[in-house]
Structure 1
Amino acid sequence: MRAMVGIDESDESFYALQWFLDNLFPDLSAALSAGLLTLVHVQQPFQPYGFPAARPGVAGKTFYPSTVVADSVRKSQEQTSAALLSRALQMCKDKLIKAESLILEGDPKDMLCEISEQMNVDLLIVGSRGLGKIKRAFLGSVSDYCAHHAKCPTLIVKPPKEASNNK
């Protein structure tokens, strides 16, 4: 059996991982052999946008960030991703569970569904921000999308009651 947990910068994703480790992993430990728990973080691709030049008398000119700026942003994204996955891997290590990590680039909802299918995942675990229907309609929901589009069973772990009341 192979399980995958989606990790992002939200407390809810870490809560989902902790909930899985505390509640389901003990029952699945025989089925999940070493390295079959995968932690996935999907970072948004960096898009260097052009900005119109704001000098008087200069029409039609556009300023694009330098490659130094673009490289700096990419490096910062990589460091953030590594830090998130390091925290998640430490949670697994604290429970004496071996896990692997994966950093992808793209739209999180699409990439989680794609990689779970490519890796023949048996269970996809994602956190839920606890958004209401209106906020979910405008902001979108990775967990809702995965529940409807992933080819494997998807476990959506809701935040604790007191945390969801603060939203």
Structure 2
Amino acid sequence: MEAISRVPEQNRRVMVAMDDSEESFYALNWALDNVFKNGPSHEEEEEEHSGVITLVNVRPPFQPFVYPTGPGVHHIYGVVVVFATSTVIDTYRKSQQQMAKVVLSKALQMCKEKMVKAETLVVEGDPKDKICQAAEEMRVDLLVVGSRGLGNITRAFLGSVSDYCAHYAHCPVLIVKPTPKESPRVAP
């Protein structure tokens, strides 16, 4: 946090990766409370903090359905690929747009309540790559991502957006992980 504190707050550009998870909203709230903690004085209550938070939402691209073939069915490479109709693709895209709208609307409201100027960015692609690319193109001072707390095995097979960003983003990355008592997950 020392490096980000050297950037004057009025020039500070922070990007927060947002999806529909509780962890991303927790990360946003943490950033609002800690990165922009120097709030307005009581005389300036109606003025916004200086600096900008960019809320980025990445929509994964539509993938065709891939099914392994069973015994007795002969196809190239043993896989059947089923392509979706244009109606299914349109429905998927509309659903993704609606989800992005809901997520970013809620996030913008949180920023407004904390009087922090915010802007939104919606992109399509692999979240890991697109978040890092957007942070680099916008030259942000800090990238904030939430942590879902994936186990070692899941993280090894699926990868982790936060781990990827920590290794490949061209700016400081803050991974916000809730403490166990603040964890948004319900214990089994």
> CA–CA distance in 1 between the matches of 2:82 and 2:19?
32
State the one-letter code of the partner of 1:33.
S
Deviations 1:42-88 (A, max 9, x none): 0100134478xxxxxxx9x9864321221111111100111111111
Aligned to 2:89: 70
Greater strand share, 1 or 2? 2
Aligned to 1:142: 161
Aligned to 1:37: 53
Is residue 151 of structure 1 aligned with residue 173 of structure 2?
A: no
Q: Percent identity?
A: 56
> CA–CA distance in 2 between the matches of 1:83 and 1:63?
30
Secondary structure, counterpart of 2:150 in structure 1: coil
> CA–CA distance in 2 between the matches of 1:111 and 1:65?
25
TM-score with structure 1 setting the length: 0.83
Is residue 20 of structure 1 aligned with residue 27 of structure 2?
A: no
TM-score with structure 2 setting the length: 0.74
> CA–CA distance in 2 between the matches of 1:62 and 1:37?
41
> CA–CA distance in 2 between the matches of 1:74 and 1:107?
15
State the one-letter code of the partner of 2:58.
V
Q: Structure 2: 5+ residue runs without aligned partners?
A: 1-11, 41-48, 68-74
42-51 or 4-13: bigger deviation: 42-51
> CA–CA distance in 1 between the matches of 2:113 and 2:179?
22
> CA–CA distance in 2 between the matches of 1:141 and 1:9?
16
Over 3 Å counting, the alpha-carbon distance change for 1:49 and 1:138 in structure 2 is closer
Aligned to 2:187: 166
> CA–CA distance in 1 between the matches of 2:115 and 2:21?
24
